[in-house]
A and B are shown apart, each in its own frame.
Chain A
Amino acid sequence: EAGVTQFPSHSVIEKGQTVTLRCDPISGHDNLYWYRRVMGKEIKFLLHFVKESKQDESGMPNNRFLAERTGGTYSTLKVQPAELEDSGVYFCASSTLGETQYFGPGTRLLVL
């Protein structure tokens, strides 16, 4: 069974540009989560999808971040325009209801 995959693995962009991160959950997992970790700090929850609906988006930093999960399969997280403080590792995880989350490898984003 394929695990959670994320694309790209790394992204280096300039301040003001747009970046779109993608997460493919494990097939059949209705729950999908996005997290961010800034260098050396805690893993911060961003949002939680159940199928295509946003269950909890209380962790989204501001309106420069837009997450979608059309069709309840893969999800994208767009940052527009990117700022320096958006740099970090963006993790995605998926699960079935009430069960263990499986994490992807993360996308390392560097905004210069």
Chain B
Amino acid sequence: AQSVSQHNHHVILSEAASLELGCNYSYGGTVNLFWYVQYPGQHLQLLLKYFSGDPLVKGIKGFEAEFIKSKFSFNLRKPSVQWSDTAEYFCAGNDMRFGAGTRLTVKP
């Protein structure tokens, strides 16, 4: 079965620190990957997606992710986090199976 996995369950950073959240996928063929975010009290919303083409994908709010086929990875990055980035982040694959989620807490 297709699946994605996230290994960081809870990440705590100070403002201005750099962020990288891991996501690995374990299937072949066509690979579509997504990162979603859920801010406290809000709906899940799409941050960015990879379908094909440039493996470096830019999303909203300064987030980006890089698809590395050789590592089966699609890690989410942000150079400098803000307190408002405190949220839960989910990686998802083709079949919209989600990873377990990573809770990010940014300390002001």
Q: Do A and B actually bind?
A: yes
* Chain A residues within CB distance 8 Å of chain B: 3, 33, 35, 41-45, 48, 56, 91, 93, 100-101, 103-106
Contacts of A91 in B (CB 8 A): 44
Contacts of B49 in A (CB 8 A): 100
How many chain B residues have a CB neighbour from A under 8 Å?
15
Contacts of B44 in A (CB 8 A): 43, 91, 93, 103
Contacts of B45 in A (CB 8 A): 103
- From known contacts A91-B44, A103-B44, infer whether A56 and B100 are also in contact, taking CB-CB under 8 Å: no
* Chain B residues within CB distance 8 Å of chain A: 34, 36, 43-46, 49, 90, 95-101
| Choice from B43, B95, B101 contacting A103 with Cβ under 8 Å | B43
Whole-angstrom distance between the alpha carbons of A33 and B36 in the complex? 15
A45 touches B98 (CB 8 A): yes
- Nearest residue (CB) in B for A104 is B43
B100 touches A45 (CB 8 A): no
- Nearest residue (CB) in B for A59 is B97
- Nearest residue (CB) in A for B5 is A42
Interface centre among B46, B97, B99 (most CB of A within 10 A): B97
